[in-house]
Amino acid sequence: MCVVDHQAFDSREAFDAAMAEAIDSFAPDLVVLAGFMRILSDAFVQHFAGRIINIHPSLLPSFPGLHTHRRALEEGVRVHGCTVHFVTPALDHGPIIVQAAVPVLDGDDESSLAARVLAQEHQVYPLAVRWFVEGRLQLVDGKVVLKAAQESANALISPLLQFAQ
């Protein structure tokens, strides 16, 4: 394990360089951001291009940034959800790997909506990691292609595959 304290650095770029060096010492195939609420420098993102993913609590490209559940409720959307995507220098706009949607129910507040979205995050994030590790994700013209037959069903997960595959 390794900890890189951002407070020990004078700039975001210096912190990101130290963090990249620490990550590289483990030689990972994939960098998975989980709860990392800092904007990464372009140099850091480019260093790990095509092998760094994040999850965002909205159906991107809708509601990038913060306060996604509040914004979804304020806009009156009927469907909300989460997106796993490759990280690019553009905040919350990388190629989409998988999305899961939940209905926005009458009477929802931020808390109830966030709880339903979080339950889906716990399903699709491990799925995206699995697909990456199995070599099933391919970036083609800035979009993700999943190397597998996709099934048609009445679910709001796309691309849809059985979790047991």
- 147 domain-assigned: yes
- 37 domain-assigned: no
Residues known to be catalytic: 56
- 138 domain-assigned: yes
- Full residue range of the structural domain in which residue 82 is found: 54-158
Q: What tens digit of pLDDT does each residue of 15-47 get?
A: 999 999 999 999 999 999 988 888 999 999 999
Preceding omega of 61 cis (within 30 degrees of 0): yes
Structure confidence at residue 164 (pLDDT)? 43
- 133 domain-assigned: yes
The residue among 35, 34, 59 whose CA lies nearest residue 158 is 59
pTM for the whole thing? 0.89
| Sheet (strand 79-86) strand order | 31-32, 52-56, 79-86, 96-103, 157-158
CATH number for the domain spanning 128: value is: 3.40.50.170
pLDDT value at 165 more than 50: no
Report the mean per-residue pLDDT for the chain.
91
Termini Cα distance of the chain: 31
